[in-house]
Amino acid sequence: MAKLPRKMLVSDTISQAFRAIRSQPLRATLIILAMSIGIASVTLLTALGESARNYILYEFQSLGTHLVTVLPGRTETTGGQPPIFGETPRDLTLADANALLQSRYIAAIAPVNIGSAPVSARGLERETNIIGSTSALRRVRHLTMAEGRFLPERESDKALPVCVIGQTIKKEIFAGQKALGQWLRINDRRFRVIGVLAPQGQSIGVIFNEIVIVPVASAQMLFNTESLFRILIEAKSKPAMYKAVNDIDEIIKARHEGEQDITIITQDSVVSSFDEILTALTLTVTSIAGISLAVAGVLVMNVMLVSVAQRTSEIGLLNALGASKTQLISLFLTEAAMLCFAGAIVGISLGQASVIVLQTLYPAFSLSIPVWAIFAALAVSLTTGVLFGVLPARKAANLDPVQALSKR
């Protein structure tokens, strides 16, 4: 009796639990099915959410991560979208934009003016958006040329009669024929086409394929306005961006009689708020799928309780043979955990299969199950199994052995 009580070997616990599972194949199949549906939906929805997030973040980052946008007007309390048009009587002008060049943290400044006007050539006409800007726009928005060149590098107040057009405009107005060097009529003015943009992805906000770009001074004449729509600024580096924001704030304040009447948006603040929104969305969708895991957990508990009831006499026997309560609990918990683990493996495979199917259907949208989601799924299913297995296991351990043995 001096010997310490030896514990049941782990390998034996597992193999005994496995034999018990194998002896009730229908029960095992049902639990695995329920658990795998839960796990598959969680992993699939996580994959969708994560991939959507990555897609949008990538889109934003392709615009350049140290982009700063300056808008006229300031929203303080609404917390809504920044104003599209200024709410202040004081405009943001070309002079303001040029003044910003004082800051040594700024690499490029592109003042932007925007408006809508009919454009025509050789009798074909359509209404489209006109952007007035400078040569810096190309750098700031990472535009690439298909033919010709971009706006010339001149002082921004020179209203040259030249324009750069998008692919759709070329196709629709010039009917696919040579556009370079041709005249394009915008409102009642003529502009020579000096460049055609390469087909652009649908960059957030502006569809560059359907746009005509003219020098900013020309746009001011076209739309008869001094004020700018916004100023796009590229900081020299990411750390310089915050210093640039301070500089912009001070320079404009000094020029606007000490009043802060502009809104400054940094690209990364846009990215991070989108990131937050999409993460929240992913989590929401995943939690909804998580409900199915809870349902699976309840099923596990139910089936394990039935199993305990069916094996009452066996439990009494194990008691008589010298099984302690702890051993009985660990046997039944191992069973529940193994069933759930198997369910998780099947579920992850199902999720992976669905991802592959979706990927072949929509090859443009890159979809994948994040690695953390796989580990989380395994952990969650094991936790569910153990959590919902505790009650049946305790019930088994607390059976009165005499009564349990009297059942046949």
* Locus of tokens 């929509």: 362
Q: Is 253 in the site for other proteins (CB under 8 A)?
A: no
Q: Find out whether 191 and 214 touch, Cβ atoms under 8 Å.
A: yes
| Stretch of 36-44, 63-71, 377-385, 399-407 contacting other proteins, by CB under 8 A | 399-407
Cβ proximity to other proteins, 22 vs 224, nearer residue: 22
Using the rule CB under 8 A, is 7 a contact of other proteins? yes
* Closest to other proteins by CB, 9 or 364: 9
Spatial distance between the Cα atoms of 245 and 53, rounded to a whole number of angstroms: 27
Q: Which is nearer to other proteins, 258 or 408 (CB)?
A: 408
SS3 letters across 269-319: HHHHHHHHHHHHHHHHHHHHHHHHHHHHHHHHHHHHHHHHHHCHHHHHHHH
Give the tokens for residue 263: 């809104």
Binding test (CB under 8 A) with other proteins, winner from 263, 319, 354, 384: 319
How far is Cα 156 from Cα 148, in angstroms, rounded to an integer?
A: 20
Q: How far is the CB of 346 from other proteins (least distance, A)?
A: 24
CA nearest neighbour of 67 among 264, 213, 261: 264
- Check residue 25 and report its DSSP letter: H
Q: How far is the CB of 4 from other proteins (least distance, A)?
A: 10
Q: Under the criterion CB under 8 A, does residue 12 sit at the interface with other proteins? A: yes
Residue 405 within binding range of other proteins, rule CB under 8 A? yes
φ/ψ (deg, to 5) at 269:
-70, -35
Q: CB of 34: closest distance to other proteins in angstroms?
A: 23
CB of 175 or CB of 402, closer to other proteins? 402
Select 312 or 381, whichever has its Cβ closest to other proteins. 312
- Measured from the CB atom, the residue of 101 and 402 that comes closer to other proteins is 402
Q: Please give the Cα distance from 199 to 209 (Å, whole number).
A: 6
Is 322 a binder of other proteins (CB under 8 A)? yes
Tell me how far apart the alpha carbons of residues 343 and 16 are, in angstroms, rounded to a whole number: 19
Site string for other proteins, 15-34 (x = CB under 8 A): -x--xx-xx-----------
Count CA within 13 A, CB hemisphere, residue 271.
17
Residue 193, H or E segment: strand 189-197
Residues in contact with other proteins by the rule CB under 8 A: 1, 5-9, 12, 16, 19-20, 22-23, 313-314, 316-327, 401-402, 405, 408
